[in-house]
Structure 1
Amino acid sequence: MTSWNDAGQAEGLFDDPAGAPPRPPAPSAAPPSPPKGTDPLAVRMRPRGLDEVVGQGHLLGPGTPIRQLVERDVPMSLLLWGPPGTGKTTLATVVSRVTERRFVEISAVSDGVKRVRAEIDLARRELGMSGRQTVLFVDEVHRFNKAQQDALLPAVENRWVSFIGATTENPFFSVISPLLSRSLLLTLEPLGEDDLREVIRRALADERGLNGAVALDAAAEDHLVRLAGGDARRTLTYLEAAALVAPEGAPIDVDVLEKAVDRAAVRYDREGDQHYDVTSAFIKSIRGSDVDAALHYLARMIEAGEDPRFIARRLIVHASEDIGMADPTALQTAVAAAQAVEFVGLPEARINLAQAVVHLALAPKSNAVITAVDEAIGDVRKGLVGPVPGHLRDAHYAGAARVGHGKGYLYAHNHPGGVVRQQYAPDAVHGREYYRPTTYGAEARFTEVLARIRSVLRPPDGRRREGGAKKG
């Protein structure tokens, strides 16, 4: 029978039946567990405001266009250009959330002109009826063809929408000029290591993320940062995969991370011996024309997270140091690869770097250029400089003729073959020969050309002095 206590509460209704064993005490607080939402970790951790955005400080400071768009509710159109995972979708979403604008996302991969026009018509009606503006976000806008991009122009020009386009391709080549000229172009940079570590630590602790349910040891964090390649989305995807396979109660270590993402850790310390050893082996393999070994070391550097700009710089140096005039196009290829790294970034730029490595490894080799300039520098450092010959001195200013500057100079174009015998070098190094072409590749033809030129320039007695030492 149920009785009532002084507080008016029923007693006995939920009491244990007679003879039943006593109920166990309430369990202690369970360890936190990650949210069970179906959204990927990268989506759950998307910033809710500009202050939560990691990286891109050059775009988010006071007075920047993004701040103007958010804080002053100024309608404008933006093109966000940057590698994957740098925050293009995040910035567009934050703009819509903070300003309470209507947000419409279109993917140029799956949507066409029909969807674009329908959303623009809806945005016009919304603007006319309630004054509420629409943010029209077009992801991968470079995948729209010219006609599809043209469909956006009236809405952008008349500001029926605040257009935000995201692209991983150079917009000067992939976006039509009228749309580009009506939009403000903002360039996003790959996230730095410190930025990625902040993304990781937030995801581990935040209740929207892993909620403190798992830990990540220091070596695994370093490896995850290397694997990410400046991509925040990839970082969170790998972290989520590792959290799913980590043993309960154990931290995520490198072995767990490798199993989760199927990417072996490359033992490579960018500040230590391995960095210098791999770089040295890379260059020596190219110098030795072993293209396969060179590609192996290139792959090791890329997989270890080496800065691709560093790799490109080494190739540029190698092109002149070890190939030079044996294949003058090698330097052009190396510089083009460096420019490609800046334009497209990794992972696509790996192809450009590999092309340069193959070209340089298979090119004929010559160190005549570096030998020549180093010998010339050696003489200068020894004090072998001397005054510039008077006939070569600048004679373009008033009074130069009175001191003999330019007197006796022979204009080469007035002579057969464009070469005329006169002294060019100072007396201290006159007759020295620094450049000695090899017989390899394209440089072989310069041997004969240089011999003919020197036969005209040198004194009739044939005196000759090698760079760095007298001979003859």
Structure 2
Amino acid sequence: MSAPLADRIRPRSLDEIVGQHHLLDPGKPLVRIIESGQIPNMVFYGPSGIGKTTLASIIAARTSRKLVRMNGTTASTADIRNVVNQLDTLEAPNGVLLYLDEIQYFNKKQQQTLLEFIENGSITLIASTTENPYFYVYGAILSRSTVFEFKPVQKEDVREAVKRAFGILEQEQHRGIKAEPAALDVIASACGGDVRKAMNAVELCALSGEERDGVCHVSEQLARDLTQRSAMKYDRVGDEHYDILSAFQKSMRGSDPDAALHYLARLLEAGDLPSACRRLMVCACEDVGLAYPQIIPIVKAAVDTALQVGLPEARIPLADAVVLVCCSPKSNSAYCAIDAAIADLRAGKSGPIPRQLQNKHYDGEDNPRKGQFYQYAHNFPHHWVRQQYLPDILKDTVYYRWGENKTEQAFRKYWAEIKKEE
């Protein structure tokens, strides 16, 4: 059984790697490190299919150390011990270059097992992860490593790799393969920056293209049929999940309905209706808030409708609500106020509740000033009377500050006129 195309045409030099210009263009620090031959401990962080493993293999070929590959999803502590047992033997006289893929699946104890040998230089570690290493990699290993972030490969770079892949398949299969320029664009766009995914699409296109006069023709429509939805990158518990949710809310907060609808579409295409609904309701309260307080029940009604009808129809009420949030005036005054109140509470600023607010109607014999002294606001003009509500330690503290929007300024004017009468 032949290896996948992505493995058969894996680059063997830095020049053949597509993308990652911020790391691998001539003169970049990582290139100079590799060319020096003195390889430090490194962590490669980024999505799958963008060259992390390929670069590690190229680095290994430039060193005199034995290359050992391990994958965090399958390796055990026994596998780590086997690597350690090779040190200072004829099998690995110059030490080991350990490429550990998916290091986030190693638990803390497994990572600690490597620490001593990383520290004394017996093992040089190149680890890769698709998750944020600052959350998933043991701090002591991170402190002894340099993190390099890999980016999704740009469409233009992927297109060149796709074109090259069709050429290699022509040589392997001893036949012509003619891919329409638009088909190359579709594959390059649909892979979402994942070169491995693009190579898989190329191989499928070559297998299913229309044969005419001994030539395999790959049309734009065929490429679309084979790559539809393949650009979706989504992991409900990974970085991509939180990045999309973050972009979704920030786009609504930034009053950009086009961007917000794009991220809503990504959530719904991934089937993540609950996350879309939750973040939409949070944004209505946090970012629109008192500038348009009626939006809260409106968005809640849209979310209830979406959850009741389910996908795909749920997209309609949610789109209505998203556009409404984007186009509404914004205020985070209440959000800031509650956070300030919580901060004071966590700092120990609380104190006894004022006597007039307590749920008591009697006094002990030791109280020299008997009586609750609560003043019922509705018994006074405009249903308001001045009295102390905050504990003594927080007396005169201001948490809520009027927003500049029309609604809150109307409230401010109303209360300013009433309270100055007292």
Q: Fold conserved (TM > 0.5)? A: yes
1:236 aligns with 2:199: yes
1:162 aligns with 2:124: yes
Structure with the greater alpha carbon radius of gyration: 1
Secondary structure of 2:217 counterpart: coil
Deviation at 1:70, TM superposition (A): 2.9
Distance 2:78 2:295 in 1: 48
- 1:435 is matched with 405
The structure-2 alpha-carbon separation of the partners of 1:241 and 1:365, relative to structure 1 and needing over 3 Å to count, comes to closer
Deviation at 1:212, TM superposition (A): 7.2
Question: Does the 8 Å CA contact 1:48/1:97 hold for their aligned counterparts?
Answer: no
1:39 aligns with 2:9: no
Distance 1:418 1:181 in 2: 43
Question: Does the 8 Å CA contact 1:85/1:232 hold for their aligned counterparts?
Answer: yes
1:78 aligns with 2:42: yes
1:367 aligns with 2:328: yes
Which letter maps to 2:51? G
Which letter maps to 1:52? E
Question: Does the 8 Å CA contact 1:41/1:209 hold for their aligned counterparts?
Answer: no
Question: Does the 8 Å CA contact 1:106/1:138 hold for their aligned counterparts?
Answer: yes
Which letter maps to 2:194? D
Secondary structure of 2:86 counterpart: helix
Deviation at 1:295, TM superposition (A): 6.9
- 1:15 is matched with none
Deviation at 1:126, TM superposition (A): 4.3
Deviation at 1:326, TM superposition (A): 3.8
- 2:12 is matched with 48
Deviation at 1:77, TM superposition (A): 0.7
- 1:252 is matched with 218
- 2:135 is matched with 173
Which letter maps to 2:112? D
Question: Does the 8 Å CA contact 2:65/2:92 hold for their aligned counterparts?
Answer: no
Distance 2:143 2:267 in 1: 39
Which letter maps to 1:436? K
- 1:134 is matched with 96
The structure-2 alpha-carbon separation of the partners of 1:298 and 1:151, relative to structure 1 and needing over 3 Å to count, comes to same
1:145 aligns with 2:111: no
Deviation at 1:169, TM superposition (A): 0.4
1:197 aligns with 2:159: yes
The structure-2 alpha-carbon separation of the partners of 1:214 and 1:171, relative to structure 1 and needing over 3 Å to count, comes to same
* CA RMSD, Structure 1 to Structure 2 (Å): 4.5
Secondary structure of 1:137 counterpart: strand
- 1:223 is matched with 186
Secondary structure of 2:135 counterpart: helix
The structure-2 alpha-carbon separation of the partners of 1:170 and 1:453, relative to structure 1 and needing over 3 Å to count, comes to farther
Question: Does the 8 Å CA contact 1:223/1:254 hold for their aligned counterparts?
Answer: yes
Which letter maps to 1:92? A
Question: Does the 8 Å CA contact 1:83/1:188 hold for their aligned counterparts?
Answer: yes
Distance 1:194 1:114 in 2: 44
Question: Does the 8 Å CA contact 1:56/1:188 hold for their aligned counterparts?
Answer: yes
The structure-2 alpha-carbon separation of the partners of 1:296 and 1:148, relative to structure 1 and needing over 3 Å to count, comes to same
Which of 21, 24, 37 aligns to 1:60? It is 24
Deviation at 1:123, TM superposition (A): 4.0
Distance 1:187 1:107 in 2: 19
Which letter maps to 1:227? A
- 2:265 is matched with 299
Secondary structure of 1:125 counterpart: coil
Deviation at 1:185, TM superposition (A): 0.6
Question: Does the 8 Å CA contact 1:241/1:261 hold for their aligned counterparts?
Answer: no
Q: Number of aligned pairs?
A: 297
The structure-2 alpha-carbon separation of the partners of 1:237 and 1:128, relative to structure 1 and needing over 3 Å to count, comes to closer
Percent identity reads 30
Distance 2:282 2:160 in 1: 34
Structure 1 residue ranges without an equivalent (≥5): 1-36, 267-281, 288-293, 304-314, 331-353, 371-415, 420-432, 438-442, 461-472
The structure-2 alpha-carbon separation of the partners of 1:229 and 1:447, relative to structure 1 and needing over 3 Å to count, comes to same
Deviation at 1:58, TM superposition (A): 1.7
Distance 1:259 1:76 in 2: 44
Question: Does the 8 Å CA contact 1:81/1:170 hold for their aligned counterparts?
Answer: yes
Structure 2 residue ranges without an equivalent (≥5): 233-247, 254-259, 270-280, 297-314, 332-394
Question: Does the 8 Å CA contact 2:162/2:199 hold for their aligned counterparts?
Answer: yes
Which of 92, 107, 126 aligns to 2:56? It is 92
Distance 1:324 1:212 in 2: 68
- 2:310 is matched with none
Question: Does the 8 Å CA contact 1:80/1:186 hold for their aligned counterparts?
Answer: yes
Deviation at 1:450, TM superposition (A): 4.9
Deviation at 1:361, TM superposition (A): 3.6
Which letter maps to 1:153? L
The structure-2 alpha-carbon separation of the partners of 1:68 and 1:38, relative to structure 1 and needing over 3 Å to count, comes to same
Question: Does the 8 Å CA contact 2:261/2:322 hold for their aligned counterparts?
Answer: no
Question: Does the 8 Å CA contact 1:323/1:360 hold for their aligned counterparts?
Answer: no
Distance 1:147 1:417 in 2: 52
The structure-2 alpha-carbon separation of the partners of 1:265 and 1:73, relative to structure 1 and needing over 3 Å to count, comes to closer
